[in-house]
């Protein structure tokens, strides 16, 4: 496959002045007529007229009304064109019903639907399918379906046809069309400047009862973006559509967002608190793209983090404002460490702005999204809130309507602050997770305390040597009583080694370093259990308080695994004290009860030079949970009281925090009472959060046969709930049982490999059962590899994403390594393997 390089970017030879599309819908033979006004691009030198096009049957082509015969290739067409402006017209035929890749125009249960980002529009018609070519689209849809939607504002409609016009120039990746038998949950929003916007959430009949929460989330997002970023919505209508077959979470098409139904539909009976929170965040994310992505888009796909990193950062700020800021920050860091750190420290490591790719779909990664958001968080910390707000205002002002680069983005910060951001820019070009080590010096006589830091980023593929990066390190100092003697101070580290001094102290302080996780680094520092226990008890920074508990748990697990030690009493005591503290937010206490995942422990062991044994890690995790259950047993009842929720179910921060703590306690309680409490909760639950939490406990306890059958019987008609049923019983079961269970579930009548949600529910959940996936006999690897090979022929994008569990193969023992490598090689050797999967497995094997 061909490699595309950032350095080779050149502007397109033409500008698009207007695009008219007419769709005549048919599942097997949809006709697409295009009329596009082109003019020479004064900023370009190369005037080759190339239009992308894939899997299209060209029926006719005309330039300025005269028939032409373009040269066709697999990737598109070229044609001789006049020197000045001209009109291109073409008619193509496509087959949406045969499109199982879910890219371009496809069908989901009788409904027509599109997904064009990143390069799907070229499967709809011939077009310069690149984000720097922006045009004003007018779309006519003809089809015998009640609802016909496209981007922008509705123009005219009649029986079996509708016309839409989007006044805002946009790249083709933001094009969307939906047609089907849909019903709307409608509402209305008045913008700050008084414009009325009609809001519709379109769903399949039967799903109307799952729309109210999504609509409220949309209205909250619209208001928040006005209040915090000064951004108003800019069309008369905002449509959201829920689709069952979708490769990712959702897509921000201009004025017509398309959502995976799992990312928008919710009701208390069928959705967990976590689902509600995720839906609120995704609705916000897609809505926020209207400015950060749509009004200002990316010049090329190497700049993907320009819209994704910024939009993730904005949606995190939104969730922090709507719910609890510390809880959101801790959850984001858990997620970053679980998904981005392994990526950045393995064969798939790439910079936040990559310099080359073969298949852009493989770069919608945790690095681009989550590390991209961390980079913006650091920038904001460094320049301060006020300068950040000014820089963003300038960004919107200066670049509205443009396709931009990271250079444009950084220039607004440089212009507003006068800072030289050349070194900061390394965050965009250098891959890998920096490691930060610390030395302390205390001069009692002078009352001077010095922190000396050393930063080092290990080599990553193609980048053996790294230069020092700008690290904002937030530090606070506590005295021996636990009082804060130096409030959070931002140290700006720019050198490989650098010292910072605090004067005027009356006693040796205890440092709280990297507060709020102020930079996405690994902090290599072992202050010992006493200091961690002290910070767990006293740190005023909630993130570092949680981190102290997390590190105690990590060290306990390490000692259990490598030295056969018993679970650490200091950790158990600290947690027991904290979890009882009713002044603390229950959601925070629930997070405190969590422990590192088994996969995280494998990573930590590997970093410390010990080959991880998945069975030993599982045994240690079980022993720690048992010890915690024993330690907390005397306060189970008191905790259950603290988790009591008054009144009707609401998926708000307060109630869901209580339920999160309740679920954490229930899982410990199940270890003591054999599942009696969980079974009672399962039977009496009137919401999915409580029901699923109880079922998960029963699965973990191996007491699940009846409950699983009852749950299936109750929910067999609801595809989103059934995804939970499939996933949870595989992820939470004992490792020995995971493979037989996953194999059996692939034979279940409701298993449908063509539906990405269902495929992920089985195969993705299996890979999350760490010791089950990493069975010593290698059968877990073979099972996943077999299914990936099968799926690749239908849906390359989802297949390639689901290769990720293999990325850590070099961590494990020789036997497992060889079996994982062989499974990867078998995937790589599959005849006609997609470009997507080929790129992923070959990067992993390199």
Residues with a catalytic annotation lie at: 286
Chain position whose Cβ is nearest to ligand HT7: 248
Residue 317 found at the interface with ligand HT7 (CB under 6 A): no
Q: Rounded distance, CA 217 to CA 506, Å?
A: 50
- Count CB atoms within 10 A of the CB of residue 91: 17
Which partner from the list Zn ion, ligand HT7, none does 251 bind, CB cut-off 5 to 8 Å by kind?
ligand HT7
Residue 286 found at the interface with ligand HT7 (CB under 6 A): yes
Q: Rounded distance, CA 50 to CA 14, Å?
A: 10
Which lies closer to Zn ion via its Cβ, residue 308 or residue 547? 308
Segment interacting with ligand HT7, rule: CB under 6 A, options 27-35, 247-255, 589-597, 680-688: 247-255
Which lies closer to Zn ion via its Cβ, residue 311 or residue 340? 311
Please state the closest distance from residue 432 (CB atom) to ligand HT7, in A: 24
Q: Tell me the three state secondary structure of residue 782.
A: helix
Strand order in the sheet with 435-443: 497-502, 448-456, 435-443, 522-524
Contacts of residue 286, defined as CB under 8 A and 6 or more positions apart, other chains included, come to 240, 250, 251, 252, 257, 259
Strands 104-108 and 66-67: unpaired
Residue 285 found at the interface with ligand HT7 (CB under 6 A): yes
Q: Tell me the three state secondary structure of residue 674.
A: coil
Q: Rounded distance, CA 721 to CA 272, Å?
A: 10
Q: Rounded distance, CA 14 to CA 39, Å?
A: 5
Helices (H) and strands (E) in the chain, counts: 30, 31
Which partner from the list ligand HT7, Zn ion, none does 150 bind, CB cut-off 5 to 8 Å by kind?
none
Please state the closest distance from residue 803 (CB atom) to ligand HT7, in A: 16
Which lies closer to ligand HT7 via its Cβ, residue 260 or residue 655? 260
> Of the candidates 89, 252, 547, 568, which one interacts with ligand HT7 according to CB under 6 A?
252
Q: Tell me the three state secondary structure of residue 453.
A: strand
Please state the closest distance from residue 710 (CB atom) to Zn ion, in A: 38
> Of the candidates 132, 142, 308, 836, which one interacts with ligand HT7 according to CB under 6 A?
308
Binding mask 349-388 for ligand HT7 (x = CB under 6 A): ---------------x------------------------
Q: Rounded distance, CA 57 to CA 575, Å?
A: 65
> Of the candidates 99, 151, 247, 670, which one interacts with ligand HT7 according to CB under 6 A?
247
DSSP-assigned states of every residue in 569-600: HHHHHHHHHHHT-TTS-HHHHHHHH----HHH
Q: Rounded distance, CA 316 to CA 325, Å?
A: 9
Residue 166 found at the interface with ligand HT7 (CB under 6 A): no
Please state the closest distance from residue 292 (CB atom) to Zn ion, in A: 9
Residue 839 found at the interface with ligand HT7 (CB under 6 A): no
Segment interacting with ligand HT7, rule: CB under 6 A, options 22-30, 281-289, 493-501, 531-539: 281-289
Which lies closer to Zn ion via its Cβ, residue 289 or residue 538? 289
Please state the closest distance from residue 221 (CB atom) to ligand HT7, in A: 13
Two tokens, residue 165: 């016009």
DSSP-assigned states of every residue in 536-561: HHH-SSHHHHHHHHHHHHHHHHHHHH
Which lies closer to ligand HT7 via its Cβ, residue 247 or residue 655? 247
Residue 117 found at the interface with ligand HT7 (CB under 6 A): yes
> Of the candidates 248, 431, 436, 553, which one interacts with ligand HT7 according to CB under 6 A?
248
* Number of chain positions touching ligand HT7 (CB under 6 A): 13
Residue 115 found at the interface with ligand HT7 (CB under 6 A): yes
Please state the closest distance from residue 365 (CB atom) to ligand HT7, in A: 11
Give, as one character, the DSSP assignment of residue 292: B
Contacting residues toward Zn ion, per CB under 5 A:
308, 311
Q: Is 594 exposed, middle or buried (0-12, 13-18, 19+ CB in 10 A)?
A: middle
Contacts of residue 382, defined as CB under 8 A and 6 or more positions apart, other chains included, come to 419, 424, 470, 472, 490, 492
> Of the candidates 36, 113, 251, 800, which one interacts with ligand HT7 according to CB under 6 A?
251
Q: Tell me the three state secondary structure of residue 437.
A: strand
Which lies closer to Zn ion via its Cβ, residue 151 or residue 311? 311
Please state the closest distance from residue 173 (CB atom) to Zn ion, in A: 12
Please state the closest distance from residue 551 (CB atom) to Zn ion, in A: 32
Q: Rounded distance, CA 615 to CA 358, Å?
A: 37
- 662 within 8 A of 643, measured Cβ to Cβ: yes
Q: Rounded distance, CA 535 to CA 512, Å?
A: 8
Which lies closer to Zn ion via its Cβ, residue 151 or residue 345? 151
Binding site for ligand HT7 (CB under 6 A): 115, 117-118, 247-248, 250-252, 285-286, 289, 308, 364
């Amino acid at each position: 496959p061909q490699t595309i390089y950032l350095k080779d970017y050149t502007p397109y030879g033409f500008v698009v002045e207007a695009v008219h599309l007419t769709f005549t819908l048919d599942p097997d033979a949809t006709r697409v007529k295009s009329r596009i006004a082109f003019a020479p691009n004064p900023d370009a030198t190369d005037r080759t007229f190339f239009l992308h096009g894939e899997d299209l049957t060209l029926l006719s082509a005309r330039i300025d009304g005269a028939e032409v015969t373009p040269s066709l290739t697999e990737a598109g067409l070229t044609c001789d064109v006049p020197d000045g402006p001209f009109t291109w017209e073409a008619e193509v035929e496509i087959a949406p019903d045969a499109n199982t890749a879910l890219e371009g125009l496809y069908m989901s249960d009788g409904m027509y639907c599109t997904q064009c980002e990143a390069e799907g529009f070229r499967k709809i018609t011939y077009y310069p399918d690149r984000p720097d070519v922006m045009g004003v689209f007018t779309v006519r849809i003809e089809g015998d379906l009640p609802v016909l939607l496209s981007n922008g504002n509705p123009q005219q409609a009649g029986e079996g046809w509708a016309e839409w016009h989007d006044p805002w120039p946009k790249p083709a990746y933001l094009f969307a069309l939906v047609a089907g038998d849909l019903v709307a949950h409608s509402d209305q929003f008045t913008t700050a400047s008084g414009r009325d916007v009609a809001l519709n959430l379109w769903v399949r009949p039967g799903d109307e009862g799952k729309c109210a929460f999504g609509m409220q989330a949309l209205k909250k997002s619209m208001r928040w973006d006005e209040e915090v970023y000064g951004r108003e919505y800019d069309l008369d209508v905002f449509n959201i559509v829920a689709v069952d077959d979708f490769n990712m979470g959702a897509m921000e098409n201009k004025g017509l967002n398309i959502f995976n139904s799992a990312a928008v539909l919710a009701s208390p009976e069928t959705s967990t608190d976590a689902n509600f929170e995720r839906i609120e965040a995704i609705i916000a994310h897609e809505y926020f793209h209207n400015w950060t992505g749509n009004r200002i888009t990316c010049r090329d796909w190497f700049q993907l983090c320009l819209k994704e990193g910024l939009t993730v950062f904005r949606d995190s700020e939104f969730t922090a404002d709507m719910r609890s800021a510390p809880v959101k920050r801790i959850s984001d860091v858990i997620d970053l460490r679980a998904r981005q750190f392994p990526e950045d420290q393995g064969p798939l490591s790439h910079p936040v702005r990559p310099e080359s790719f073969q298949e852009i779909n493989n770069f919608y990664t945790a690095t681009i999204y989550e590390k991209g958001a961390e980079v913006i968080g650091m920038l904001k910390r460094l320049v301060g809130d006020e300068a950040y707000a000014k820089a963003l205002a300038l960004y919107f002002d200066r670049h509205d309507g443009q396709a931009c680069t990271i250079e444009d983005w950084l220039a607004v910060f440089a212009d507003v602050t006068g800072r030289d951001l050349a070194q900061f820019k390394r965050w965009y070009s250098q891959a890998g997770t920096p490691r930060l080590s610390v030395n302390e010096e205390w001069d009692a006589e002078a009352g001077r305390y010095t922190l000396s830091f050393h930063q080092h980023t290990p080599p990553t593929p193609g980048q053996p040597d790294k230069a020092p990066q700008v690290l904002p390190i937030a530090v606070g100092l506590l005295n021996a009583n636990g009082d804060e003697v130096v409030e959070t101070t931002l140290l700006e580290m720019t050198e490989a080694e650098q010292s910072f001094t605090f004067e005027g102290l009356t006693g040796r302080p205890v440092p709280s370093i990297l507060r709020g996780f102020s930079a996405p680094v690994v902090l290599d520092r072992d202050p010992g259990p006493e200091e961690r226990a002290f910070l767990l008890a006293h740190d005023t920074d909630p993130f570092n308080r949680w981190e102290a508990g997390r590190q105690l748990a990590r060290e306990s697990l390490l000692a259990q695994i490598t030295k056969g030690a018993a679970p650490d009493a200091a950790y158990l005591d600290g947690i027991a004290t904290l979890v009882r503290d009713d002044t603390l937010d229950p959601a925070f206490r629930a997070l405190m009860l969590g422990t590192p995942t088994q996969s995280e422990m494998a990573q930590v062991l590997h970093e410390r030079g010990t080959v991880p044994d998945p069975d030993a890690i599982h045994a240690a995790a079980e022993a720690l949970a048992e010890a915690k259950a024993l330690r907390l047993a005397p306060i189970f009842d008191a905790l259950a009281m603290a988790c009591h929720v008054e009144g009707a179910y609401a998926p708000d921060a307060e109630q869901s925090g209580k339920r999160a703590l309740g679920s954490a306690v229930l899982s410990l309680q199940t270890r003591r009472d054999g599942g009696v409490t969980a079974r009672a909760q399962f039977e009496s639950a009137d919401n999915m959060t409580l029901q699923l939490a109880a079922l998960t406990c029963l699965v973990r306890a191996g007491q699940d046969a009846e409950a699983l059958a009852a749950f299936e019987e109750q929910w067999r008609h609801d595809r989103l709930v059934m995804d939970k049923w499939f996933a949870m019983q595989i992820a939470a079961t004992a490792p020995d049982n995971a493979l037989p269970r996953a194999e059996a579930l692939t034979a279940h009548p409701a298993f449908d490999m063509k539906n990405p949600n269902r495929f992920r529910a089985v195969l993705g959940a299996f890979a999350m059962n760490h010791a089950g996936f990493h069975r010593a006999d290698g059968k877990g690897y073979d099972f996943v590899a077999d299914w990936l090979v099968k799926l690749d022929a239908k849906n390359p994008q989802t297949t390639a994403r689901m290769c990720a569990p293999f990325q850590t193969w070099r961590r494990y023992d020789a036997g497992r390594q060889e079996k994982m490598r062989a499974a990867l090689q078998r995937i790589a050797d599959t005849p006609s393997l997609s470009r997507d999967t080929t790129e992923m497995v070959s990067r992993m094997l390199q």
